[in-house]
Structures are given as C-alpha cells and as structure tokens.
C-alpha cells in the first residue's frame, strides 16, 4: 500500500509485515518497478523499531541483496522552495560592530568598589 505526503505525493509504502519503507517523493516513480504487491524485496537504511512498529528510511533497495540501487536524498526544487512550497528564509542581517561593543560592555561586571572621589579642584 502506497503512503502519501501532505501534497499527495508517494513517499513510502506499507508492507504486508506492517513495516513502513520511507523514501523521497521524487524517487517514487523510479522505485515503482521494484516495489510491487506480493513481491519480495530487500531494503537497507536507517531503521527505527518501537512499540508502534518498524520504519525504514530507505538508503538502498532492490529485488535481491546483490541488486540493490541507491536511494538518494530528495532533490531540491529549482526555485529553492521547501517541502511546503515556501521559500527558504533569507539570511540573517549583517551585524553592526556597534551592537557587539554594546553587548560586550553590558557583559562587563559593574565596578562595585567604593573608591573615594578626589575633591573637585577649583
């Protein structure tokens, strides 16, 4: 059974064993020939197993251990938009050296010694 992301793209499969295989949505078409109902396959990757089940973040997959193909990270869209379709945040503004000096001055402990002040000359 195919698993879908928020935009409806295929990003994984639920196996008959109950395990979940996850892969980048942009590689679903490439993997469709390997992942077929009732077909045995071999998948390697980062595996998490807990009381809810097993999830494999697939790094290699194939019909046999000697026929594995690499599954890479998701491709970045040409316009540098993230998975939700929003643009990446802009870089932080350049720091003004005056602000750094002000912060450094605030970090210095206050002078708590009570030195007598010389009398005003005059």
- Residue 88 within a domain: no
- Residue 40 within a domain: yes
- Residue 9 within a domain: yes
Give the per-residue pLDDT at 66: 93
Q: Tell me the C-alpha distance between 66 and 45, whole Å.
A: 15
Identify the domain containing residue 35 by its residue range: 2-70
Encoding tokens for residue 86? Answer: 């929003």
Instruction: Tell me the Ramachandran region of residue 38: left when phi exceeds 0, alpha when psi lies from -120 to 50, beta otherwise.
Output: left
- Residue 114 within a domain: no
Position 22 confidence tier, pLDDT thresholds 50, 70, 90: very high
- Residue 15 within a domain: yes
3-state DSSP assignment of residue 10: strand
Provide mean pLDDT across the span 66-85.
70
- Residue 112 within a domain: no
CB 56 within 8 A of CB 42: no
- Residue 52 within a domain: yes
Provide mean pLDDT across the span 85-96.
64
Tokens 């109950």 belong to residue: 18
- How many domains are contained in the chain? 1
Q: Is residue 38 scored above 70 in pLDDT? A: yes
Position 39 confidence tier, pLDDT thresholds 50, 70, 90: confident
């Amino acid at each position: 059974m195919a698993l879908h992301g928020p935009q409806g793209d295929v990003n994984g499969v639920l196996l008959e064993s109950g395990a979940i295989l996850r892969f980048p949505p942009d590689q679903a078409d490439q993997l469709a020939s390997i992942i077929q109902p009732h077909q045995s396959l071999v998948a390697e990757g980062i595996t998490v197993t807990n009381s809810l089940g097993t999830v494999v973040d697939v790094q290699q997959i194939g019909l046999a251990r000697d026929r594995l193909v690499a599954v890479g990270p998701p491709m970045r869209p040409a316009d540098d938009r993230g998975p939700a379709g929003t643009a990446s945040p802009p870089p932080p503004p350049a720091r003004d050296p005056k602000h750094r000096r002000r912060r450094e001055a605030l970090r210095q402990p206050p002078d708590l010694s009570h030195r007598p002040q010389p009398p005003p000359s005059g």
